[in-house]
Structure formats: C-alpha cells, structure tokens
Structure 1
Amino acid sequence: MGVSFILLSLLVPIVLSVVFLPKTLRFIAELVGHGLRKSSRTRRELLLARVANETKHFERQHKEKSKEDDDWENIASAALGSAINGGKADSEWNGIVGFFHPFCNAGGGGERVLWAAIRATQKRWPEAVCVVYTGDHDVDRATILKRVKDRFNIQLHPPTVHFLYLTTRHWVLASTWPRFTLLGQSLGSLILAYDAFHLLVPDVFIDTMGYAFSLGLSSLFFPTVPTGAYVHYPTISTDMLDSLQIGGQGINAGTGAGYRGIAKKKYWQLFAKLYSKVGSTIDVVMTNSTWTQSHIISLWEPYRIKRSKANDIDVVFPPVAVEEVLQAVEVSEASEKNRGPYLLYIAQFRPEKNHELILEAFASFLHSSLETATYTNQPPTLVLIGSVRNSHDEKRVYNLRLLARELNIKENVEFICDAPWPLMLEWMRKASVGVNGMWNEHFGIGVVEYQAAGLISVVNDSGGPKLDIVVEVDGQPTGFHATTVEQYAEGFRKAFSLSPTETLAMRHRAQKSAERFTDRGFAEKWLKNMETLVALQVERAR
C-alpha cells in the first residue's frame, strides 16, 4: 500500500506534466513576453516621440517631394489590398516594424534586400517606424544611411528608420561555435533575439538574414506579433546532406565517411527536423529564388500544413539596380570599343564565394591564351570587387593575393575592396565578362548586374544563377555554366571567342533577362506580403 501510494504520487505529476507541458511552456513564455513588453515600453514611447520630432524637422527642411518619392507612391497605391478576407489594410497604419538583421552594415546583396524592403515599407506606410536590430556598434545612423546611399543608391527617409544596437552578436558567429556550428548559431540567434526584444518589442517582426529560430522565439513570446521571413539561403538543405558524400561539392564535401561522418549526417538530419518545426511557426515566408523556395517547401511545408499556415511560400526576387545599370551602361556597337578583356567578379570576400576556384581557372585560361597569342595588345585581367567586413575578410584578401602570386598571374589580377557604386558601374562599362564562382549561390544579385550591363556571364552550374538568371532568352543562351577549373577556363575562352555580332546579340539577350529583377518588381511583391503581415497585426490587436 505504501509503495503503491509512493509510485502513484510520483506518476501523477509526471503524467500531468507530460499532458500539460506544452500549455505550461506557452504560458510561461507569454509571461516572459509580457515582461519584455513592459520593460521596453519606455523606450518605445521615447522612440515614437523622437520620430515625431525628427519628422517635423525634416519636413521643414524638405518641403517638396522628390520625383523618386512620387514614383514610389505610385508603387504603393498599386499594391493595396490584403490577403485577409480580401480586405484592405489601413494605409495610415503606424506600427513599428522590427527588421532583424544583425550585420546590416555588411554591404552585400542581403543588405540590399533589407534597405529596399525598408524603402518600400516607408513609401507604403509613411506613418510606420522601421527599426533595424543590428550589432554594428561602430557606426551610427547617419553613417549607415550614407553607406546605403553610396553602396546601393537607395535613399531612405531618416526620421522613420532607427537602429537598436545588440550586444550579443558574437553568439551567432561561426567562430563562437567551432563544434556543432549550425545548432550553436541557431541557439545563439535565440540569445540575440532576446536581446532585441529586451530593447523593443515591435508590432511586426521580420527576419531578413536567415535566423528562423529568432522568429520562432517571437511567436512563443508574442503570439499577437506577426512574423515574416525573407530566406536568402536555407540553414540546411538536402544538397548539404548530399555534399557529405565522396564527390560532393561545397566546404563540407566528402566529410560523411567513417563513424564521424555518419554521426555528422545524423546530427544534420536531426537539425533539419528542428529547423523545419521552427519554420512552421512563421506567418509569412518569402524566398529569394526558385532554388531556395524548393528547399524551404520540402523542409517546412509538411509542418506548416499541420499548423494550418495557409500562406504560400512566395518567391520574391531580390531587388537589383537593373534600371539604373541599363541607363548608365550602354550596350551598342559603339560602346564595344570601350570594353576591354576584363573579367569582373563582384562578391563579398567570403569562403563560400570560392575566389580560389576563379583564380585557378583564370590562371589556366590566361596562360593558355598567352601561349596561343590570343591577346597580343592587352592580356586579360581579372577584377575582384567585394566588401570587406572584418579582419577575417582582410586576411582572406591577403591570402588571395598570395595565391595570385603563386599562380603567376599577380600582374593580371586587380583587387578592389569596398568599391562605391559609381566605381562598380565604371567597371561594368569596361568589362566584357562577368564571373560567379559560388556553388549553390542562393540567387546572385551580382550576376543580374552583369546581365543588366550586358556582360557575358560565366557562372556556377547550380543554384539561382543556373535556375533563374543565366537562362535562355528567345531560345538562345545568355551566358555559360561551369563547375570545375577546366570548365570555367573553357567558359572564359568561349566568351572571348564570340564574333562581334554574336557578342552584341548575347549582351542584348542578357539585358532582356535582367529586366525580370527590378527594384520595382521587388517592391510590388514585398508590399503584397507586407500587406498580409499588417493585416494580421490589425486583426490580432483587436
């Protein structure tokens, strides 16, 4: 009797905890969320007061709207409407949109998406406030906005864009997690998200860097706050799992052999399941390419169906300065005289961009070309343009310079770090070929810029460049695909061996291909999804 009573007294709380654990956890999480709202209320009030004061001051200084403003107002008015009951969201909505982008000053394609999204949001909802959660402590708002203007030629409305500085960004650095990096960075993003919510709880929370776990935490703490994800690249994918096999590609190629390899594959599979469950909590999901969409659908869709997340996973191609490049770079018989044997590679100096592959392929092509005396007047030059974020990137550039020396092509390779937009345009006018070396590049904004400038692209035979960008137009190619050093070298040779007529025709087809990826096209699709988030916020706030 005594033993039975003891067993019963132990089993009852265990059973009750198992049955009610999810509800208990949600209740505790919402209590934490309530506390975060309360603690950040003063900062919210101060922020809104600051926005009001800065808006009045700005309006006094700028009484007339620029033509750009008028153009964006036209976009905004054309994008009205909501997916909720077919109604329209309030055009005077004045909530706070939180953009989770801890590396907002990096200067890459992902940052262009962030700034273009904020610009479109500002034009559509001029009373709304856009807050960027960032870890870039060393730069203030004026410096960031100036770089946005210089690097991307995107002019933001200063009074309604503000920055909140995170102190825990190191938790999402790969260097912080030398082991179990995927899981570690994801857990680190939870710490970073908590840091963000401690500063300010927004009315709509959007991740534009790929930290899905931060959105899951938001949904747990604040069920009434709609969440949105713009996914540049899945944190894990079936391609990554396949890459572990011998003969695979990427930085983990061939690491799936032996007991450690089997353990790593099992760990990745478990992480993929966890990643998928987190993805199922997000209200609105956008992907930047067909490749990314297919992987996110395969991972998240089964779990999203279980949670009755009815919204489709939408492809929203990143904004590219196509119109500006088309206007700034002439493609004609006359302009061909201004182009030289330059190969242009625009990409951040990061390991996955595979600059080493391009240098080796260029060396093979160059030495072959010089041996056959293809270029007697001016040998080809490889121009590498990219942003340098930190000391690791600086070291990478240094090592690439050493590699160029070892390959005996030092005099034919030029490095340009943190180039302003006008300088990039200048090189697009001068170059003949555009290069992309990343395996499974999620999209490839630089490749679209190549096409808009009429460059003949030689890109990796994978990801966005293969599926969405360097595709046939009118049944004819717009560039070449490659994987190995030999294939890239051959692609370079083909690009430079076209006749003048064939070259000009391919340049025009490339421009036609690029017209699918404009700033305006991005804004319209972004606002369609943003409209859904605003409507959800209005509905849940009732």
Structure 2
Amino acid sequence: MNLSFLFLLLSIPVVLAYFFGLYILGSLGQVVGYYLRRASRTRKELLLARVQTEQRAYASTHPKRAPANDEDGWEEVEGYAAGTAANGAKAGEDWKGIIGFFHPFCNAGGGGERVLWAAIRANQKRWPDAVCVVYTGDHDVDKAAILKRVENRFNIHLHPPTVHFLYLSTRRYVLSSTWPHFTLLGQSLGSLILAYDAFSLLVPDIFIDTMGYAFALALSSFLFPAVPTGAYVHYPTISTDMLASLSPNGQGVNAGAGVGWKGFAKRHYWSLFARLYCLVGSTVDVVMTNSTWTQSHIRSLWGPRRARRLRSAKASETDIDVVFPPVAVEELTDAIDVSPESESKRGPTIIYIAQFRPEKNHTLIIEAFAKLVAQHNAFPSFPNTPPKLVLVGSVRDSDDATRVYNLRLLAHERKIKEKVEFVCDASWPQILYWLQCASVGVNGMWNEHFGIGVVEYQAAGLISVVNDSGGPKLDIVVEIDGEPTGNMQPMNHQVFEVPSFHASTVEEYASAFANALSLSSAETSAMRLRARKSALRFTDRGFAEKWVKNMERMVQLQELRTRKPGGFLTMIEI
C-alpha cells in the first residue's frame, strides 16, 4: 500500500476528532451562553422598563429630547451611513437594541473615556431608542455623578434615560497589581472573568470593547455567536515594537528587560502571548483603530487570521478601519483666539496634558524642562517672564497619587519646584485656561497610540513638541499645505542643533522647547494657524461619522443573525 495513502487514511480520524472536539466545545459554550442569557432576562426587562420610566420623566421636564446641543449640526447624523443596506436604504433606522460597552474604568477621565462618551453620544443621535449600557467597576460613583463628570471634563452632554451602568464586582482581576508576574497573560485571563461577570448581569444585543480587552470579545463570540462584537483599539496589547523594546537599546517602560536568562524567558513568553493575541483578535466582527500606527500593528497581528476567517486575502487591508478619536476641536477654536492680539495673553508656558501613568513619561519632560531652565532664564519674546511647566492630568487611584508625589519630589530635587505646576483632575474650564495661556504643548510618551492632547494643543494654537514615534509623529504633527505644524525643518537661529520638534531624549526635548520659545512673532503666528488648521481633521463630527458607519455594520449583523442564528462561528472558521 502506498505510504502517502496510508497516512491519509490514518489522518482522517484525527481530523474528524479535531473538528468533533471543536463542535463539542462550541456547543458547550453556547449552552453556557443560553443559561447566561436566560438568567439575565429579568434584569433586561427591568432595565427596559426603567428606560421607559426615565424617558417619560425626562420628557416632562425637557421640551425636546437632545443628547447634545443642536447647534453642533448633528441632526444630520442619521444620514451618515445612508445607502449601506443591501437595497441601498438606511440600515436599522429604528433599531432598538441594547449596546453593551465594556469599559471597566469609565470614570477615569482620559482620552479613552472621551472616545466612549462620544461613541455613546453618536449612537444616541443615530438610534435614539437604542439603550447604551456601560459595564464598569466604578462602584464609588452613581450614574448622575458619572454623567456630570462627563459634562465637566469633556463637555459632552448625553441623554440620561438611554444610558445606564452595570457595576462589575471583579475588576481587580484586570489590575496589574493583581498579577505581579506574567502580567499580560494574567490581565487577559482576568478580563475573561470580568467579561463573564458582565454577561451574568446582562447579555447585550451588540458587545463593544473600548478599552483593549480582546479576550473579552473572544469570550462573547464563544458564548453568544449571534451577538456581533466590535473593538475600538487604542493600543495593541502586544506588538513587534514591544518585543524590540526588550533590547538594551530599546525604549519604553520595558527597555532593556530582555537581558539575561530572565530576559530570554520574557521574550519567548511575549512571543507566545502574541500568538494567542492574534487568535482572539481574529474573532472580532468589526475592528476600529485610533491611528494609522495602531492600524498597522493590528493588521500585522490580526490580519492574516482575519483574512482566513473572512475567506478573503485582502480582508486584512479593508476591514480594519482608522477612526480618529474625537477631540474638542470646535469648543477649543470657539473658546480660544489665535491671532497676533492673543499673543499678549500667552507666556513662555509649556503644558503637558496626560494621565499620570508611567508610560506617559512625565519624568522625561521634567528633566528636559530642568535642562532648559538651567540654560535659559528668559527668551526674546518673553523678556520678563521665566519659562513654566504645567502638568495637567487625571489621578485614577492611589498609584497615580503616589506618582504625582514622586514627580513633585523630582521637581524639588532639580530646583524647579516653583516653576512646575500640577493640575490634577482638571475641569474643562481649567484646561481651557491653561491652553490659552501656554505657548507650547508637549507629549512625552514613546509610541503614543494617537495623542488626543496633542490635537488639543493644535486646536488651541500651541506649538507641539512630541515624541518621535507613534500617532503624534505619523498622524498629528505633520505638514499641512506643505508647511510644518511643528518645526519640521532646522531653524536658522536654533539654540541646539536638533532638526525638528519630534524628540526622544532629554537633550532633544530641551532643544525643541528652546526652539519653540525662540521663534519670531511672524513664525509663531504662522505655525499656530497651521496647527489649528491641522486639528480640523480630528473633530467630534468626523469621529461620529466613522463610528456610525462601523456601528451600521454591527446593527446589520445583529439583525441578520437574529433572523438566521448561526452556529459555532469562531474556532472552526479560523
């Protein structure tokens, strides 16, 4: 007998056993999903009844229901995705389902949270009868307090009756402190526990992760094949850049961690985790990324398996969409004047808007500012005013508070304590005040996925000094009309010989600060206007248009799968 034929005969039972095992596993998952759905049925009915009650109460006190001010022009939001249905009509015009947003830290007040609230606002405009449910672990605040902070921090006004919160009791499992070793894997497994916690409370009609928990989406697909899943990816959990950062010359919080036998083990552990991350990411139905940098990494990680799942060689090039985060560009351009007359209100102030997290690298910025102060007490445009650094950011927990304390100590040690100001948990009016008083905005994070704060700088007319990597370099501080929005070419009067306002080291940042504060009045005015024009690419409306377009896809999938429920759609397809 031919050996190849014998091998084929022997392999058939193995292949059949493999697929039978997958079928059994998938069936078990759907059985668990069925019981979760049935167990949460009563809560779903109570939630919908509460929505109706709140709708009536709201209507009695408000003459017109509107999640946001009508002057923003969003009454046209229903036309964003016109013609996307198979027959050319609007898809899901009157859709009334429940959209679950998996965002365990929804009250953190950072850029990721702005995406969440802007997405909910866009959904409320497009589908006014749909209910948005946020799964959160913020037990210390109620709905009213959360929505009030959203208004104060982001100037986003939501329609209260159709946004609700379900409180998770297992958020500790996604904290890095819970997993001192094998943190990436531990947090990812922890997100499975947290997602199961969420599903035990309520099974939504569409499930969206806006924080980066791809494993939670995979669990949803496993338990509820009929529920479409969506991911808004701010930052890949693992990437080739992270693996490269382990080298002695690497950058970021893990720079040099790949040395020795522990480093060898870490490198292989990360490589294995990357494979697992590729697997779970390929199960997501609709994927959005916040920048071209993130898109490139997600395509390289998730694209090949997604192409196989969708049975299209070009799927990885077309189905992962860049949806730039919403930035308060309109509010900033209306509130802050950029003209020769407004220069009198500005001083030699450098502002950094960022959460007080390790990766934001506030230490680098303080060190660079200390070097600047050591070499320059004043600049020609501000002869009587010394430079100042203002650090604006939210403090999420005790770890962040400790970080702020250590940064204050560093400023004291560098003898710049009086020239560095910390503004913690700033309100929107406070942010506006500092943006119109400052001249320079800085970003210090290596491979920042996007950089909402940098767009805010540009909208306010600030000259941006950003890290020479990630979204700020590729998407934001770029040429407009062939001219720089940051100093992209060497200046004739450079204080240090650095070719741009893209920086990496203490010396480069200090040099870029000096260059920015040494520009002539004409150069400063021209660059501020170009920066503001650049910021118009990142408006709330632009985000809403692309968000609704991708949501349309999920709504259509939900309607299709409800009519024709599918079977086990994950493991076999990939």
TM-score (ref. length: structure 2):
0.90
Deviations 1:81-103 (A, max 9, x none): 43657553221100000000000
Among 228, 240, 243, the alignment partner of 1:241 is: 243
TM-score (ref. length: structure 1):
0.95
Task: Report the counterpart of residue 439 of structure 2 in structure 1.
Answer: 432
Task: Report the counterpart of residue 3 of structure 1 in structure 2.
Answer: none
> Aligned residue pairs: how many?
532
The structural deviation recorded for 1:276 is 0.5
Query: Letter of the aligned partner of 1:27 in structure 2?
Result: S
Distance 1:98 1:81 in 2: 26
Among 100, 103, 110, the alignment partner of 2:102 is: 100
Q: Say which SS state the counterpart of residue 537 (structure 2) adopts.
A: coil
CA contact 2:258–2:266 (8 Å) conserved in 1: yes
Distance 1:333 1:423 in 2: 23
Assess, with a 3 A threshold, how the Cα gap between structure 1 residues 214 and 84 changes in structure 2: closer, same or farther.
farther
**Considering only aligned residues, what root-mean-square deviation do their CA atoms show, in Å?**
1.8
Q: Say which SS state the counterpart of residue 376 (structure 2) adopts.
A: helix
Distance 2:80 2:20 in 1: 48
The structural deviation recorded for 1:76 is 2.4
Task: Report the counterpart of residue 456 of structure 1 in structure 2.
Answer: 463
1:443 maps to 2:446:
no
Assess, with a 3 A threshold, how the Cα gap between structure 1 residues 246 and 154 changes in structure 2: closer, same or farther.
same
The structural deviation recorded for 1:493 is 0.5
Taking the TM superposition and a 5 Å limit, the aligned residue runs for 1:298-377 are 298-308=300-310, 310=315, 312-370=319-377, 376-377=383-384
The structural deviation recorded for 1:74 is 1.2
Distance 2:438 2:148 in 1: 27
The structural deviation recorded for 1:367 is 1.1
Taking the TM superposition and a 5 Å limit, the aligned residue runs for 1:137-536 are 137-308=139-310, 310=315, 312-370=319-377, 376-479=383-486, 480-536=501-557
Task: Report the counterpart of residue 60 of structure 2 in structure 1.
Answer: 60
Distance 1:76 1:314 in 2: 20
Distance 1:403 1:257 in 2: 28
Distance 2:64 2:227 in 1: 36
Assess, with a 3 A threshold, how the Cα gap between structure 1 residues 15 and 109 changes in structure 2: closer, same or farther.
closer
Assess, with a 3 A threshold, how the Cα gap between structure 1 residues 65 and 133 changes in structure 2: closer, same or farther.
closer
Deviations 1:331-364 (A, max 9, x none): 0010001101100000000000000000000000
Q: Say which SS state the counterpart of residue 225 (structure 1) adopts.
A: coil
Deviations 1:427-469 (A, max 9, x none): 1110000010000000000000000000000000000000000
Taking the TM superposition and a 5 Å limit, the aligned residue runs for 1:22-61 are 22-61=22-61
CA contact 1:459–1:465 (8 Å) conserved in 2: yes
Query: Letter of the aligned partner of 2:325 in structure 1?
Result: P
Query: Letter of the aligned partner of 2:537 in structure 1?
Result: R
Report sequence identity in percent.
69
Distance 1:394 1:202 in 2: 35
Distance 2:344 2:84 in 1: 51
Query: Letter of the aligned partner of 2:226 in structure 1?
Result: T
Structure 2 unmatched ranges of 5 or more: 1-11, 487-500, 564-574
Task: Report the counterpart of residue 84 of structure 2 in structure 1.
Answer: 82
Task: Report the counterpart of residue 5 of structure 1 in structure 2.
Answer: none
Assess, with a 3 A threshold, how the Cα gap between structure 1 residues 342 and 260 changes in structure 2: closer, same or farther.
same
Q: Say which SS state the counterpart of residue 515 (structure 1) adopts.
A: helix
Query: Letter of the aligned partner of 1:524 in structure 2?
Result: E
Q: Say which SS state the counterpart of residue 401 (structure 2) adopts.
A: helix
Assess, with a 3 A threshold, how the Cα gap between structure 1 residues 285 and 523 changes in structure 2: closer, same or farther.
same
The structural deviation recorded for 1:75 is 2.0
CA contact 1:250–1:439 (8 Å) conserved in 2: yes
